[in-house]
Amino acid sequence: MAFENLTERLSKALKNLTGKGKIGEEDLQASLKEIRLALLEADVYYPTVKKFIAAIKEKAKGAEILDGLNAPQQVVKIVNDELTALMGEKAVPLNKSEKIPTIIMMAGLQGAGKTTTVAKLAYKLKKEDKARPLLIAADVYRPAAIDQLEVLGKDLDIPVFSEGTDVDPREIVKHGLAEAKANKNDYVFIDTAGRLQIDEALMTELKDIADIAKPDEILLTVDAMTGQNATETAEGFANALALTGVVLTKLDGDTRGGAALSIRDVTGKPIKFVGQGEKPTDLDVFYPDRMASRILGM
């Protein structure tokens, strides 16, 4: 297997230590190497891994806990605690506006899962809070993007505002918001087109939409399988937009999802939800401790 259980790996790395008493510098190095590998195989950003290993080293030494049989487990626990802390400890709920509607805008790279997440989240609110959301179809670029949102809306009995592909997304958003006001919708979702963070024209469009809509939530949607480039992408979106949170998608796969760490680190914004499948119900609140264990393969 590509991803062995870390505890097992560490035990192997430290197996000749049992009964030796205190673990020395060299032995610690060996186990830190294993941790570094586990983190890199999980796609944690490399500079973060380096920082992280240095911090663990300090902690492990300071705590003087590395004696006896349980040393590997103890190292794992320190790493686990650190990761959890880095990812924000507690679950953070969705922002809610005092006056209706609460406006939620999506942002992210192509194919990350924005449109699917809009449907899932709107459905969750409808089911759990009896909310009356309106979905605005502001992706005029991807072939059949509007159809996709409309089919999802129809299946879930949630209205979709669209004006085809010949109207500027800024205008669509203005009109959609007016419609939400007239209909007293309590939530509005803006589904935007996927874009590269280096695409200046499309990033400007996104900023303009945010200026027009003044969203309560701007959710960066990130594919959990993302590699080392996650940081650069997150940075690009965070520089252009006042992000309020992150949605991590496709966690139903076998990825370890180390990008979660990088994104949290760069944006400083909480991961609020995770996508765990393609169905409308496959959306869950994010728990940092579970993610930490997952990254480590525990």
Partner 1 sequence: ANFRSVDEDFFEDLEDTLIGADLGFDLAISISNQVREAVKLENVKDKEAIKELIVRLMVESYERQGENEDQSMHFAPKGQPTVILFVGVNGVGKTTTVGKMAQRYKDQGKKIMLAAADTFRAGAVKQLQEWGDRAQVPVVAGPEKADPSSVVYQAVERAKDEQVDILFVDTAGRLQNNVNLMQELAKMNRVIQKVLPEAPQEVLLVLDATTGQNALQQAKLFKDSSEVTGLVLTKMDGTAKGGIVFAIRDQLHLPVKWIGFGEKASDLRAFSAEDFVYGLFKDLVKN
Give the shortest CB-196-to-ligand GTP separation in angstroms: 6
Can you tell me the distance from the alpha carbon of 120 to that of 191, in angstroms, rounded to the nearest whole number? 12
* Unique residue bearing structure tokens 């669509």: 172
Contacts with partner 1: how many residues (CB under 8 A)? Answer: 48
What element of type H or E holds 5? Answer: none
Q: 190, 105 in Cβ contact below 8 A?
A: yes
Which has the closest alpha carbon to 122: 161, 64, 91, 172? 161
Q: Can you tell me whether residue 88 is helix, strand or coil?
A: coil
CB-CB contact of 179 with 162 (8 Å): no
Cα 244 from Cα 64, distance rounded (Å): 39
- What is the pattern of x (binds K ion, CB under 5 A) and - over residues 93-112? ------------------x-
Q: List the interface residues with ligand GTP, window 204-263 (CB under 6 A).
A: 221, 249-250, 252
Q: Give me the least distance between CB of 70 and Mg ion, in Å please.
A: 48
Question: Segment 94-123, which members bind ligand GTP (CB under 6 A)?
Answer: 108, 110-116
C-alpha to C-alpha distance for 248 and 260, rounded to whole angstroms? 7
Least Å distance between CB 252 and ligand GTP?
Answer: 5
- Binding site residues, ligand GTP, CB under 6 A: 108, 110-116, 139, 142, 145, 193-194, 196, 221, 249-250, 252, 275-278, 282
Q: Which residues bind Mg ion (CB under 5 A)?
A: 114-115
Can you give the binding site for partner 1, defined by CB under 8 A? 2, 36-37, 40-43, 46-47, 109-113, 119, 141-145, 147-152, 155, 196-198, 223, 225-230, 232-233, 250, 252-256, 258-259, 278
